[in-house]
């Protein structure tokens, strides 16, 4: 299962059996407002991820409650779908 909230991590922590879980990379990005000034300039802002959620997901990943980071390769637009995989990779 793919977790995205602190509440989901809490439920998983209370489960009798350890379930396999992942988190989308997007939810692990640094919350810009809580970062030092140099990082704020480059940090990606995702307003729907609260600081508690980010910290909970990171802690769960570090402790092994979440076992993997999900990276989805979804085309961003119609033009992106026209690119062959090799040409879509960063240079």
**Domain map of the chain by residue range?**
2-88
Question: For the whole model, what pTM was predicted?
Answer: 0.60
Reported confidence tier of residue 9, pLDDT bands at 50, 70, 90: very high
Rounded to the nearest 10 degrees, the angle between the axes of helix 51-63 and helix 6-14 is: 40
| pLDDT tens digits, 33-84 | 555 555 555 555 555 567 778 889 889 999 999 999 888 666 556 766 665 5
Q: Quick one: tokens of 1?
A: 């299962």
Contact 22, 69 (CB under 8 A): yes
H or E element in which residue 2 lies: strand 2-3
Contact 38, 56 (CB under 8 A): no
Q: What integer pLDDT is reported at residue 91 of this predicted model?
A: 44
* Among 2, 6, 14, CA closest to 58: 6
Res. 17: pLDDT tops 60: yes
């Amino acid at each position: 299962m793919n977790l995205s909230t602190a509440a989901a991590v809490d439920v998983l922590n209370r489960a009798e059996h350890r379930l396999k879980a992942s988190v989308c990379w997007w939810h692990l990005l640094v919350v810009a407002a809580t970062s030092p000034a140099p990082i704020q300039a480059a940090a990606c802002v995702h307003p729907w991820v609260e600081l508690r959620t980010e910290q909970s997901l990171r802690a769960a990943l570090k402790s092994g409650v979440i076992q993997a980071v999900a990276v989805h390769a979804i085309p961003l637009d119609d033009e992106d779908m026209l690119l062959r995989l090799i040409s879509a990779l960063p240079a």
